[in-house]
């Protein structure tokens, strides 16, 4: 959806954003960083633990003291000023420490409360990284393999041909290589068809290729990994993630599902454009039904811990060989280099790993994932060579905050400022769920009050 704000007013707001505001931050003790990951494997290969290796790129590491965190915090403040967007939260971590983890703006235009570090947002497709990580923990436990077949755990599963059915592996599911066509059954999910019924419909679904041979982004099929986790552990998928990831990492605000976010002490309502301003909605339940693909709720404080762990600073929970495997590119995704200006200007190649995306960002390795569902957006990125991570969450359909991520990456890598914050186009990633692509007529937005634009 195109943002309505005129470019001149946005640029005027940036003047205030670039003022050197002094803002507080918190810190965590650092532990040694894991080795940097190596570059792409063959597209159809299974993920394997990778040895330490250099990462392409010529920029020297930017020390935490030289990173202008106050500037990025000021830009975040400008993004929520004058109702541009309702609320936003951002965390920056480096060398295992939190440089910033703060909230900006409000949770709800109808009953405004300030967004803080513990305000919970819906993560949408950022949830996929949790599914892959949970699976990797079970692989690390020795109770599951990346090349285990889906039918060993879900015998009733069927695709259009017996050969295809028997070929789908754990790694295929987590890297969108099931062979199904893109976003299979997402529109049915939007139409309130239950998850179990949709998995049964896969027996008659058209195939784009044999499993493992091509990439096509999925939400319903991706969530079959939850059935495998249940069959392996005897616990509901969400319980396994809570006990093996949320609790040990100190992600105390994190939860799954609509009930989880509504039970949070502070949570951000989703917002869409309507009647000349922002309209507050209740979260749609549809994509919560595919929990591995889109079910996590978390605060920016939680997500700071998530990035610290995926940067290698929590080997007690996520050991280095597991992280190297999760982040290793498996299959090319060239469509990711199109769309918004920062993708066109910075990305030279893109791949999918296991629940994460792998980008060549102006010659530097960036591990990334985005997410969007009606009224929520988010993006997270890791810079392995800089031992740095950034996550941004916001509670509206506006594309404006998308430019903040590449602005921070450019600064960390010593690249020229690309003026990405002037771009008001939709980010362009496939991580945008159907619920966000159009607000149906007759939405419950008509029952809510709009804020000024």
Helix/strand/coil for 290? coil
| Residue 273 burial (CB count, 10 A) | 19
Q: Which two tokens stand for residue 420?
A: 């990405």
Helix (H) or strand (E) segment spanning residue 137: helix 127-141
Q: Under the phi-then-psi rule, with left for phi > 0, alpha for psi from -120 to 50, and beta for the rest, what region is 142? A: left
Domain(s) labelled CATH 3.40.710 in the chain stretch across 7-125+252-451
**Helices in 309-377 by DSSP H: which ranges?**
320-327, 341-346
What string of pLDDT tens digits covers the 453 residues of the chain?
A: 333 333 333 333 333 333 332 233 323 222 222 222 222 333 334 554 433 333 333 345 566 667 999 999 999 999 999 999 999 999 999 999 999 999 999 999 999 999 999 999 999 999 999 999 999 999 999 999 999 999 999 999 999 999 999 999 999 999 999 999 999 999 999 999 999 999 999 999 999 999 999 999 999 999 999 999 999 999 999 999 999 999 999 999 999 999 999 999 999 999 999 988 999 999 999 999 999 999 999 999 999 999 999 999 999 999 999 999 999 999 999 999 988 999 999 999 999 999 999 999 999 999 999 999 999 999 999 999 999 999 999 999 999 999 999 999 999 999 999 999 976 665 666 676 544 444 333 333 322 333 333
Residues 6+ apart with CB under 8 A from 294: 123, 124, 125, 127, 128, 219, 287, 288, 371, 373, 433
> Which CATH fold topology does 7-125+252-451 show?
Beta-lactamase (3.40.710)
pTM metric for this prediction: 0.84
Q: Which residues pair with 43 in a beta bridge?
A: none
Asked if 422 contacts 10 with a C-beta cutoff of 8 angstroms, the reply is yes
* Strands, E assignment, 117-266: 120-122, 255-256
């Amino acid at each position: 959806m195109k943002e309505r704000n005129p470019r001149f007013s946005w640029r005027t707001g940036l003047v205030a954003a670039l003022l050197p505001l002094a803002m507080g931050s918190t810190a965590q003790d650092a532990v040694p960083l894991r080795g940097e990951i190596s570059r792409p494997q063959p597209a159809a290969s299974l993920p394997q633990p990778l040895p330490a290796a250099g990462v392409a790129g010529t920029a020297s590491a930017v020390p935490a003291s030289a990173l202008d965190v106050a500037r990025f915090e000021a830009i975040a403040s400008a993004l929520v000023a004058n109702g541009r967007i309702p609320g936003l939260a951002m965390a920056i971590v480096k060398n295992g420490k939190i440089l910033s983890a703060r909230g900006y703006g409000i949770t709800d235009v109808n009953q405004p409360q300030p967004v803080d570090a513990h305000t919970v947002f819906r993560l949408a497709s950022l949830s996929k990284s949790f599914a892959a990580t949970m699976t990797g923990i079970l692989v690390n436990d020795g109770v599951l393999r990346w090349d285990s077949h889906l039918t060993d755990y879900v015998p009733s599963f069927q695709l259009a041909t017996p050969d295809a059915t028997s070929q789908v592996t754990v790694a295929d599911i987590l890297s969108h290589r099931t062979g199904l066509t893109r976003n299979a059954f997402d529109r049915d999910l939007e139409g309130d068809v239950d998850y179990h019924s949709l998995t049964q419909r896969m027996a008659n679904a058209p195939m784009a290729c044999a499993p493992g041979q091509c990439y096509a982004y999925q939400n319903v099929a991706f969530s079959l990994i939850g059935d495998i986790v249940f069959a392996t552990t005897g616990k509901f998928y969400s319980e396994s993630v809570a006990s093996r990831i949320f609790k040990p990492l100190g992600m105390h605000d994190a939860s799954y599902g609509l009930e989880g976010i509504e039970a949070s002490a502070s949570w951000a309502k989703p917002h869409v454009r309507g009647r000349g301003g922002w309209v507050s909605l209740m979260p749609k339940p549809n994509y919560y039904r595919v929990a591995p693909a889109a079910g996590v709720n978390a605060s920016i404080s939680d997500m700071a811990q998530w990035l610290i762990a995926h940067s290698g600073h929590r080997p007690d929970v996520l050991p280095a060989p597991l992280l190297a495997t999760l982040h290793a590119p498996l299959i090319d995704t060239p469509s990711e280099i199109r769309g918004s200006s920062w993708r066109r200007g910075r990305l030279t190649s893109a791949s999918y790993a296991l629940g994460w995306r792998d980008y060549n960002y102006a010659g530097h390795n960036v591990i990334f994932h985005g997410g969007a569902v009606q009224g929520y957006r988010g993006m997270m990125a890791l810079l392995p060579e800089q031992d740095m991570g950034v996550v941004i969450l916001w509670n509206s359909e506006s594309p404006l905050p998308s430019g903040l991520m590449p602005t921070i990456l450019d600064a960390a890598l010593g690249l020229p400022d690309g003026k990405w914050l002037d771009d008001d186009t939709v980010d362009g990633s496939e991580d945008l769920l159907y619920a966000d692509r159009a607000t149906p007529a007759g939405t419950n937005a008509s029952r809510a009050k709009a804020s000024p634009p």
